[in-house]
Chains A and B, each alone.
Chain A
Amino acid sequence: MVTDVIFVRMSVLVFTIIVLFGAFLAGLLGSLTGLGGGVIIIPLLTLVLGVDIHYAIGASIISVIATSSGSAAAYVKEGITNIRIGMFLEIATTISAIFGAIITIYINPSYIAVMFGLILLFSAVMMLRKKVEHADNDDSGALGRFFKLNGSYPTPEGTVSYAVHNVVGGFVMMFFAGIVSGLLGIGSGALKVLAMDNIMRMPFKVSTTTSNFMMGVTAAASAVVYLHRGQIDPGIVMPVCVGVLTGATVGSKILVKTKPEKLKVLFAVVVAFLAFQMIYNGMLGKL
């Protein structure tokens, strides 16, 4: 396995510099596409640098906490995030993220790589898909009313109210998103947004910011399990989280100035390539 890798014997300094640079690009790409840094840093660490996938997962989940907390800080102040929905669904995501983090060690790393590739492909498709707003203020769900999930958010045209639908369906989907997050060390934002946009029919802005708000707590729940198990290695996590956070910060500044719609196809191709690499190497048992 080690012999397949380009860099076989590397000093700590060289490793740190390469990972720092790669993590910066991962954070930049992750924030421009909305995919998050984790889905790109894991292929980089495993495919290019030959790092065991369990270490890569541990490092990635820490970078998820850093980037999601950093951007949640800005969104929460704007008052778009629905904190009640976030807290309510965190019951599902924290339980399932811990569950995912526990079982990940019993699963053959090859299967984890293949699963990772499939989630990556799914995220690329979700990124390209035309978004259709389903939100309305048709207050029909009894559970949504009971848990006070219906809300409003500021827009340039004034405050818009919305009602939440299919709370049970959203909760179940969040449970699945949490398992994926704990199992693969990613934020699984694509699955969370699917649960909120399509199932619970929340407005885009609210669902993206609320999903981001939940990500930190979900990731922290599984990070604790990884930490106890020794999957969080400071030598890898240091360059990964510094690089991803810097890249994501730069990315969010660029995002305000440009419309990355045209770049999205290019990004999707890159992500799909990484996905096939993960699936291919996973099937060959190289990871």
Chain B
Amino acid sequence: MKKDVKRIFVDKDVQVILGTLLRFGVILSMVVVLIGGMVYLNSQGKAIVDYSQFRSEHADLTSIKAIFSGLLSLQGKAIIQFGIVLLIFTPISRVIFSVFGFLLEKDYMYVVIGLIVLSIIIFSLTNKLVG
């Protein structure tokens, strides 16, 4: 019984931290996206849009490396894309944190389950899946 009570407490702490982490990630990435959006509209607001045909080969900013080099030259689009990458990493960091949470609870089955989910995402990050 005593063990049960303890487990609920740890769970509760983990949940509060997870919630804070998610909120912080969303707010931070949205601020970056907004800053990038202003720079982008300021520099390219009068350009004509053309999104009628998807062209994979025309897309830049498709890798972390390209985003960072655009970031250094303060391109609006690269700043937005950086904010988007931060947003994508928000739920991923939530998984990483949950693994630590389960480790603290000594729930090794869920440490393994969390690591499986994480390795699936890391596998997709390797950029070998795009046809």
Contacts and interface: CB of A to CB of B under 8 A. Distances in A.
A69 B41 contact: no
Contacts of A227: 62, 84-85, 88
A68 B91 CA distance: 9
Nearest to B127: A228
Interface in A221-256: 221-225, 227-239, 241-242, 245
Given A65-B88, A227-B62, A51 B51 contact: yes
Given A13-B46, A16-B41, A224 B124 contact: yes
Contacts of A217: 91-92, 94-95, 117, 121
B5 interface: no
B1 interface: no
Interface residues of B, number: 70
Contact of A9 (B48, B55, B62): B48
A229 B56 CA distance: 6
Interface string B105-131: 001011001101100110111010111
A94 B85 contact: no
A118 interface: no
B36 A238 contact: yes
B115 to A, nearest CB: 10
A219 interface: yes
A224 B120 contact: no
B46 A87 contact: no
A36 interface: no
B94 A216 contact: yes
Contact of B87 (A101, A105, A241): A241
The dominant DSSP class at the B interface is helix
Given A65-B90, A69-B91, A227-B85, A91 B40 contact: no
Given A81-B15, A223-B88, A224-B88, A237 B80 contact: yes
A69 B107 CA distance: 25
Given A77-B19, A228-B62, A98 B54 contact: no
A87 B55 CA distance: 35
A220 to B, nearest CB: 5
B49 A69 contact: no
A84 B110 contact: yes
B22 A76 contact: yes
Nearest to B37: A238
B44 interface: yes
Contacts of A265: none
Nearest to A77: B19
Interface string B9-45: 0011011101110110110011001101100110011
A73 B22 contact: yes
Interface of A: 1-2, 5, 9-13, 15-16, 49-55, 62, 65-66, 68-70, 72-77, 79, 81, 83-84, 87-88, 90-91, 94-95, 98, 101-102, 105-106, 147-148, 216-217, 219-225, 227-239, 241-242, 245
22 contacts: A10-B48, A11-B46, A52-B51, A55-B51, A66-B29, A73-B20, A76-B18, A79-B15, A87-B113, A88-B113, A91-B117, A217-B91, A221-B120, A221-B121, A229-B59, A230-B57, A234-B36, A234-B40, A234-B76, A235-B40, A241-B30, A242-B37
